[in-house]
Amino acid sequence: MKINRISLNCQQGSSVNDCSGTDSMLFYFKSPVTFMINGRECRLKKNSAVIFSSYKQPFHSTDNRPLRYDCVSFRMSAADKQYISSMNLPLDTPIEITDDFVISGLLKCMKVQSLNKGKHSGEFMELSMRMIFISISDGLNTHKDNLADQIPRYSELKILREAIYANPESEWSVDKISAEFGISRTYFHRLYLAAFGITCRQDIIESRLLYAADLLKNTDLSVSAIAERCGYESDSYFMRQFKQHKGFTPSEYRRHCSEAAE
């Protein structure tokens, strides 16, 4: 994991829309914040967080006052993504923090370390981020334990989501999935959104684009071959969707990764 930027005690106007780019980002909010997810408002109190994989959901202040937050921009390896998945941390989903003391302290230590740039700075940063993930995950345990009681068929939905990210190239279809669940598409959509704060279709897209980004960075496969491997029948649709969600065309993204590595 590479930490690119740490910003503490940020204050911006009532909304933040410029979250483009391919890097992952951790936002820790110190003031009430509202997320717009599929046209619906999701309001959180202060001391909340979100880990953006790459696609950024828009958000704004709940009370129209300046947003106050800390922010970390970082780049994840395949191992980092697997680690986050093993912690059952939801990406691109706002999370209320039960204990802000640990996270605030770790972020301050990371900022100091980034300025010192010591010999083991990179290792310190990565371990600190993992401790932040652990702290967030621990705070979610009680809430997640209750989800099985609150949301019908939660266990099945969780297994489905893990399968989507483990097999992004599969021919996932919301119509087929809801039929296999034996429920209507509308009801399935409602359950999935309630369980994970994101639609199944968005998860399918994100899983494929994450896989595509990994192939672009680590292989010499052509864009056409990568599109096919990720389950896209149309190269142009793949390129358009990649550009829309990642902020780069596939070729631009590959060139950006190559230049960053050099």
Q: Tell me how far apart the alpha carbons of residues 196 and 29 are, in angstroms, rounded to a whole number.
A: 20
Are residues 98 and 188 both part of a single domain? no
The pLDDT value given to residue 257: 80
Q: List the domain range (segments joined by +) for residue 57.
A: 2-147
Q: Are residues 254 and 212 in the same domain?
A: yes
Let me know the angle formed at the C-alpha of 23 by 90 and 80, rounded to the nearest 5 degrees. 55
78-86 helix and 121-150 helix, angle to the nearest 10 degrees: 40
CATH number of residue 212's parent domain:
1.10.10.60
Same domain, 136 and 183: no
- Same domain for 141 and 158? no
**What is the three-class DSSP state of 239?**
helix
- Split into its structural domains, the chain has a count of 2
180 in the same domain as 143: no
The pLDDT of residue 142 is 47
Q: Is residue 121 domain-shared with residue 185, that is, in the same domain?
A: no
25: domain CATH number? 2.60.120.280
Last residue of a domain, one of 104, 120, 147: 147
Q: Which two tokens stand for residue 48?
A: 């909340």
User: 143 and 158 in one domain?
Assistant: no
Could you give the CA distance from residue 3 to residue 129 in angstroms, rounded to a whole number?
Answer: 9
Are 239 and 189 part of one and the same domain? yes
Asked if 97 and 191 sit in the same domain, the reply is no
The last residue of a domain, from among 115, 147, 179: 147
Kindly report whether the global pTM for this prediction surpasses the value 0.75.
no
Angstrom distance (rounded) from CA 92 to CA 31: 19
CA–CA dist 126, 89 (Å, integer): 17
State which of 147, 168, 193 marks the end of a domain.
147
Per-residue pLDDT of the chain (262 residues; tens, 9 = 90+): 888 888 888 877 655 544 556 788 898 888 888 876 656 677 777 788 888 877 566 778 887 778 888 889 898 887 787 788 777 787 777 788 866 778 888 888 888 888 777 778 888 888 999 999 888 887 765 445 455 667 888 889 988 988 898 888 899 999 999 999 999 999 999 998 888 777 899 889 888 888 898 899 889 999 999 999 999 989 999 999 998 877 789 999 898 888 766 6
Percentages helix, strand, coil for the chain (3-state, rounded to 5) are 55, 20, 30
Question: And the tokens for 73?
Answer: 């921009």
**130 and 176 inside one domain:** no
The single-letter DSSP state of residue 169 is T
Q: What is the side-by-side order of every strand in the sheet holding 95-96?
A: 2-12, 67-75, 24-29, 48-52, 95-96
Percent of the chain with pLDDT over 90: 20
Do both 130 and 189 map to the same domain?
no
Same domain, 159 and 130: no
And the tokens for 149? 């009681």
Q: For residue range 192-223, what is the model confidence (pLDDT) as tens digits?
A: 888 877 789 988 988 888 889 889 988 999 99
